[in-house]
Amino acid sequence: MEVVKKETGKLSAEIAIKIEEKDYKDSVEKSLRNYRKQVNLPGFRKGMVPMGMVKKMVGTNILVDEINKLLSNKLQNYIGEEKLEILGNPLPKEEDMSPIDWEKQKEFDFTYEIGLAPEVKVALSEKDKFEKYNIQVSDKMLEEQMEEIAKRYGKMTAVDQSKEGDMLYGKFEELEKGKVKEDGISNQSVLNLTTIDSAKEKKKLIGLKSGDSADLKITSMASENYIASWLGIDVAEVKNVKSEFKFTLDKINRLEAAEYNSELFDKIYGPAVVKTKEEFKNKIKEEMERNFAENAEQLFERDVQDHLLKKAKLELPDDFMKRWLMTANEKPISKEQIEEEYEQYARGLKWQLIENKLIQENDLGLKQEEVIEHTKGLIQQQLAGMGQMMDDKELEETAQRVLQNQEEARRVYDQVYSSKLRKLYNDTVKIKEKNISYDDFVKLAEKKRN
Instruction: Based on the fold, state whether residues 164 and 276 are members of the same structural domain.
Output: no
- Residue 191's pLDDT band (cuts 50, 70, 90): very high
What are the tens digits of pLDDT across the range 364-374? Answer: 988 899 999 99
Residue 323 lies in a domain: no
Instruction: Based on the fold, state whether residues 81 and 110 are members of the same structural domain.
Output: yes
Q: End of a domain among 56, 91, 116?
A: 116
Ranges 38-47, 85-94, 221-230, 375-384: which has the least confidence: 38-47
**Is the pLDDT at 412 greater than 90, yes or no?**
yes
Instruction: Based on the fold, state whether residues 286 and 400 are members of the same structural domain.
Output: yes
What is the mean pLDDT of the segment spanning 300-322? 95
Residue 333 lies in a domain: no
d(CA 330, CA 174): 48
CATH number of the domain that residue 71 is part of = 3.30.70.1050
| Main-chain dihedrals φ then ψ at residue 380, nearest 5 degrees | -60, -40
Instruction: Based on the fold, state whether residues 305 and 387 are members of the same structural domain.
Output: yes
Q: What is the overall mean pLDDT for the chain?
A: 93
Residue 127 lies in a domain: no
What is the mean pLDDT of the segment spanning 387-393? 81
Instruction: Based on the fold, state whether residues 274 and 404 are members of the same structural domain.
Output: yes
Q: End of a domain among 86, 101, 116?
A: 116
**Is the pLDDT at 220 greater than 90, yes or no?**
yes
Residue 31 lies in a domain: yes
d(CA 389, CA 382): 9
Instruction: Based on the fold, state whether residues 187 and 69 are members of the same structural domain.
Output: no
Instruction: Based on the fold, state whether residues 420 and 397 are members of the same structural domain.
Output: yes
**Structural domain total, the chain:** 3
Amino acid at residue number 345: Y
Residues 249 and 212 sit within 8 Å (Cβ to Cβ):
yes
Instruction: Based on the fold, state whether residues 200 and 53 are members of the same structural domain.
Output: no
CATH number of the domain that residue 160 is part of = 3.10.50.30
**Is the pLDDT at 54 greater than 90, yes or no?**
no
**pLDDT reported for residue 96:** 64
Whole-prediction pTM: 0.75
What are the tens digits of pLDDT across the range 317-362? Answer: 999 999 999 988 878 888 999 999 999 999 999 999 999 999 999 9
* Percent of the chain whose pLDDT exceeds 70: 99
Residue 349 lies in a domain: no
What is the mean pLDDT of the segment spanning 166-193? 95
Instruction: Based on the fold, state whether residues 166 and 104 are members of the same structural domain.
Output: no
**Is the pLDDT at 188 greater than 80, yes or no?**
yes
Instruction: Based on the fold, state whether residues 238 and 110 are members of the same structural domain.
Output: no
What is the mean pLDDT of the segment spanning 263-291? 93
What are the tens digits of pLDDT across the range 104-115? Answer: 899 999 999 999
**pLDDT reported for residue 391:** 85
Instruction: Based on the fold, state whether residues 30 and 53 are members of the same structural domain.
Output: yes
**pLDDT reported for residue 387:** 67
**pLDDT reported for residue 42:** 83
- Residue 211's pLDDT band (cuts 50, 70, 90): very high
**pLDDT reported for residue 383:** 84
Residue 242 lies in a domain: yes
What are the tens digits of pLDDT across the range 416-442? Answer: 999 999 999 999 999 999 999 999 999
Residue 92 lies in a domain: yes
- Residue 234's pLDDT band (cuts 50, 70, 90): very high
Residue 239 domain boundaries? 155-256
Instruction: Based on the fold, state whether residues 252 and 277 are members of the same structural domain.
Output: no
Q: End of a domain among 98, 116, 134?
A: 116
Residue 263 lies in a domain: no
* Percent of the chain whose pLDDT exceeds 90: 81
**Is the pLDDT at 39 greater than 90, yes or no?**
no
What is the mean pLDDT of the segment spanning 167-176? 96
SS3 letters across the chain: CEEEEEEEECCEEEEEEEECHHHHHHHHHHHHHHHHHHCCCCCCCCCCCCHHHHHHHHHHHHHHHHHHHHHHHHHHHHHHHCCCCEEEEEEECHHHCCCCCCCCCCCEEEEEEEEECCCCCCCCCCCCEEEEEEEECCHHHHHHHHHHHHHHCCEEEEECECCCCCEEEEEEEEEECCEECCCCCEEEEEEEHHHCCCHHHHHHCCCCECCCEEEECHHHCCCHHHHHHHHCCCHHHHHHCCCCEEEEEEEEEEEECCCCCHHHHHHHHCCCCCCCHHHHHHHHHHHHHHHHHHHHHHHHHHHHHHHHHHHHCCCCCHHHHHHHHHHHCCCCCCHHHHHHHHHHHHHHHHHHHHHHHHHHHCCCCCCHHHHHHHHHHHHHHHHHHCCCCCCHHHHHHHHHHHHHCHHHHHHHHHHHHHHHHHHHHHHHCEEEEEEEEHHHHHHHHHHHHC
**pLDDT reported for residue 439:** 93
Q: For strand 213-216 and strand 186-192, is the pairing parallel, antiparallel, or unpaired? A: unpaired
What are the tens digits of pLDDT across the range 7-27? Answer: 999 999 999 999 999 999 999
